[in-house]
Structure 1
Amino acid sequence: MSELFKPVTLNGVTLRNRVVVPPMCQYSASEGLANDWHLTHYGSIAAGGAGAVIIEATAVSPEGRISPYDLGLWNDTQADKLARIFSFIESQGAVPAIQIAHAGRKACTDKPWLGGKPLNDWTNFLAPSPIPFDENCQIPKSMTIQQIHDMTEKFAESAMRAVRAGAQIVELHAAHGYLLSEFISPLSNRREDEYGGTPENRARFLIETVKAVQSAVGSEIPLSVRISATDWLEDGFKPEDAVDLANMLKPLGVALIDVSTSGVVLAKIPAGPGFQVPFAEKIKKETGMTVSAVGLITKAQDAENIVAEGRADIVMIGRGHLANHQWTIHAARELGAEAPIPPQYQRAYR
């Protein structure tokens, strides 16, 4: 029997299989509002058989968007627009999930297909320290203690809106050089107060945010945290630091560590099929936590092997689902598992 297609349970929420669609920005919203593109995109992927579908990085405040075209959850109207998407995802047998985020010093970039360059249309870029991402970006403002506390509440409020709208899993984006990740990495956090310096201090903002979100949504909602397990630079955040961070999150009841890498600074990354899997494996083996692997995993047998060999509990398939919304169905058939084919499509597989 395929290990990839065995159910997995996170804090009482059961996924029908271990294939999860990771959050991937669509750069297609206006004023943070989901529209027909998002319904069609996420709905079609959910009908393709994945265990869960995580809606893209959704900003907790206007200046926290990666681009002006990102989704938001800083008001109830935005939550109302997401509700029908969550509902449809669930109707197709997948668990509806969402990633909430703040882009920090990497906010306000153009659409990738238009170059993805910083737009610099905003003036209130926030970060742990006044260090720009690169020479093309504005110098961000170092957050005050009060701003940090306020941001924690914004994450909690956005998470509550998501759950009320129908999200069954909430993920915090603490990876790829966005705000929570910026606090964690010594390359972007040069603070000398209780939110900087030691690894424990640099993790404080994330830990306080986890606690605030859990208090807002309740313990029955699984909380995932996406982290960058390495900055790919000698003086940056390292895999050993990622293990320590996961161990800080473990007693808080975090249900899943979603293990990615990089993004805090520009670095040479040895990208290739499954190149980030060893980091997920390390965290799983050294902490005993439930982890997901992500990054250029496109083949069904590779995903199967990752789970079967105990390297990760869940496999995130991103590009594969962009190219083929029924990636999961095809993977199930290839692996000899029962394929979750919608009845409307079954005649295509006879």
Structure 2
Amino acid sequence: MGSFANLLTPIRFGTAMDCTNRLYFSSVGFDVCDEVGRPLPAFFDIYESIIEGGCGFGFLGNASIDPQSQYTDRGLKLVSREHAEDLRPLIALARGKQRPLVVQLQHYGVPGVDSEPDASRPKGDVTAASDAQIEGYIAQFCDAARLAMGIGAQAIQIHAANGYLLSSFLSPRTNRRRDRWGGSPLKRAELLLEILRRIRALVAGRMAVFVRLQVDDGLGDGGLHVELLDEVIGAIESVGADAITCATGVAETFGKFLSERDYTVGVTSAAARFLKARTRLPIGFAANLDSLSFAERLIGDGTADFVGFGRAIVADHQFPNKELANRLEAVNRCRWDSYCLRDKKEPLASRVYCCVNEAYLRPQHIQAIYQEK
């Protein structure tokens, strides 16, 4: 196994998912679905190619569990049996190649959750959400988990990060409740914990359950940082999660986390070590990485148990295979300019593109607009 002995050691998640190595493709929303969230042919082309790239597993990113909850009108949804059946062939392909795809369950938050919108409240404020709305969120996560299990998925991931619904409940900045759902770090985590309890009872060990956990939002003392999760981490383990992946940044701070790699790696490394000191669950690490050697060190020194790559694999689906074979000069490297994320809100962009990947290279007129800005 050469210099990548740690990365190439198999890993098991729960009782339902075995992986041949500890590399994963991090969740990326490519925005190649139709107006009702069903995948277009390009969606399957991308994931089939990534499955062959060398990662032990990957995350099928940003499957919205609520028809009204979406980041763009081209995003993936998992809200009906028809949506689930669309994914069945891809799930089966990944399973057959021993490169399982984890279905990420995402709720972006419903616009107008505040009965009386107040400009003084931060974006994503969940303080005024009713008990009926909260029960509805729980039901949507459970329904989506049932759909994923029905098509043979070996694992799901509950998205509780990046300023979306569940991380808004976790944050003292956007959750100022004083009831069952807020008032302390553990109470702010209660929605996530209740979803995990119900999903664990539903899947009964037939799927592994990951949590994408916000470990730092970059907003300082008034925001969410890993030290506030001290009790929460143990609670996540006790209610039956099988693994945690670390996530950083919200809308206001994505720019800093995406552009300052050393800063992001430092924050994520400290958070991962904090989590590992408090749980036996496997901890996943992803932070603008494009080096398997660095990933090998992260596992070797005990910072993390598995390591993910997002934009590095968007730029070159064969990135893991090439680096494992020591073909470093052959890797099509990401430029780290984050133009792919701008595509999501650019009116001229019909999907997420890449600066360097010929399979979905950004049209020059859009590239020129970004470069001019």
TM-score, structure 2 length as denominator? 0.79
Match of 1:65 in 2: 70
Q: Corresponding residue for 1:257?
A: 244
Pairing 1:157–2:161 present? no
Aligned partners of 2:151, 2:119: CA distance in 1, in Å?
35
Is 1:318 the counterpart of 2:305 in the alignment?
no
Pick one of 149, 153, 162 that aligns with 1:176: 162
**What is the CA RMSD across the aligned residues, in angstroms?**
2.5
Whether the aligned pair in 1 keeps the contact of 2:52 and 2:318 (CA below 8 Å) is yes
Q: How does 1:1-350 map to 2 (within 5 A)?
A: 1=1, 2-12=5-15, 13-30=17-34, 31-104=36-109, 124-126=111-113, 142-232=128-218, 233-263=220-250, 265-266=252-253, 269=256, 271-273=260-262, 274-275=265-266, 276-334=268-326
For the residue of structure 2 that corresponds to 1:64, the secondary structure is coil
Question: Does the 8 Å CA contact 1:125/1:141 hold for their aligned counterparts?
Answer: no
Change (3 A) 1:47 1:126: farther
**Between 210-219 and 2-11, the greater mean CA deviation after superposition:** 210-219
**Structure 1 pair 134/94, CA: closer, same or farther in 2 (3 Å)?**
farther
Contact 1:45 1:325 in 2 (8 A): yes
Is the 1:173–1:180 Cα contact (8 Å) retained in structure 2?
yes
Q: Say which SS state the counterpart of residue 58 (structure 1) adopts.
A: strand
Q: Give aligned pairs, total.
A: 316
Per-residue CA deviations over 1:218-249 (Å, capped at 9, x if unaligned) read: 22311000011122211212221233221110
- Superposed displacement of residue 285, structure 1: 2.3
Q: Is the 8 A contact 2:32 2:74 kept in 1?
A: yes
Deviation at residue 128 of structure 1 after TM alignment: 11
Cα distance between partner residues in 2 of 1:131 and 1:99 = 31
Q: Deviation at 1:72?
A: 0.8
1:91 & 1:268 partners in 2: Cα distance?
Answer: 38
Q: 2:237 is aligned with what amino acid?
A: K
Residue 47 and residue 128 in structure 1: after superposition, are their counterparts in 2 closer, same or farther (change >3 A)?
Answer: farther
SS at 2:145 equivalent: helix
What is the match of residue 111 of structure 1?
A: none
The one-letter code matched in structure 2 to 1:86 is: I
CA distance in 2, matches of 1:160, 1:299: 36
Equivalent position SS for 1:24: coil
Q: Percent identity?
A: 23
The alpha carbon displacement at 1:334 in A equals: 2.7
Measured in 1, the distance between the counterparts of 2:64 and 2:283 equals: 24
C-alpha distance in 2, partners of 1:308/1:132? Answer: 47
Q: Is the 8 A contact 1:49 1:93 kept in 2?
A: no
Asked if structure 2 preserves the Cα contact closer than 8 Å seen for 1:25 and 1:57, the reply is yes
Shift of 1:212: 1.6
Q: Deviations over 1:36-93 (max 9, x none)?
A: 1111111100011211121011111111212221111111110011111112222333
What is the CA–CA distance in structure 2 between the aligned matches of 1:101 and 1:132, rounded to whole Å?
26
The answer to whether the 8 Å contact 2:22/2:307 transfers is: yes
1:121-153 Cα distance to aligned partner (Å, 9 max, x none): xxx443799567999x79889321011112101
CA distance in 1, matches of 2:44, 2:130: 38
Distance 1:295 1:71, change over 3 A: same
TM-score (norm 1): 0.84
Q: List runs of 5+ in structure 2 lacking aligned partners.
A: 328-373
Matched to 1:10, the amino acid is: F
For residues 285-311 of structure 1, give each alpha carbon's deviation from its aligned partner in whole angstroms, at most 9, with x where no partner exists: 232321000111111100111111111
